[in-house]
Amino acid sequence: EAGVAQSPRYKIIEKRQSVAFWCNPISGHATLYWYQQILGQGPKLLIQFQNNGVVDDSQLPKDRFSAERLKGVDSTLKIQPAKLEDSAVYLCASSLDPGPSYEQYFGPGTRLTVT
């Protein structure tokens, strides 16, 4: 079974530039999550999709971050414009269901450096 795919793996941009990340979840997984993990901290949920609908985006900085999951499969996360504090690893995860019994499978992450 293929895992969660993410690209790119690394990205370096200057502040005020834009960047986009892509995620393809495990086949058949209805729920997709985007997390931000700052060095030395735990993952912080940015947005959770079930199929192509948003379940939770309460911690997404909507003035600069946006995400979509067209057709309920793969997803993109965009930052525009980027700030220095956005430097982090952006993790995508998927699970069969958002219900309480389902573990999350994580992709390798995209390491973003904003200079």
Binding site for other proteins (CB under 8 A): 41-45, 48, 55-56, 91, 93, 98-101, 103-109
CB of 81 to other proteins, least distance (A): 27
Q: Is 41 helix (H, G, I), strand (E, B) or coil?
A: coil
Which residue's CB is nearer to other proteins, number 59 or number 115?
A: 59
Rounded to 5°, the CA angle 80-86-90 comes to 95
Which residue's CB is nearer to other proteins, number 6 or number 69?
A: 6
> Who contacts 81 (Cβ-Cβ below 8 Å, separation ≥6)?
15, 16, 17, 18, 64
Which residue's CB is nearer to other proteins, number 81 or number 108?
A: 108
Q: What token pair was written down for 98? A: 């958002």
CB of 16 to other proteins, least distance (A): 29
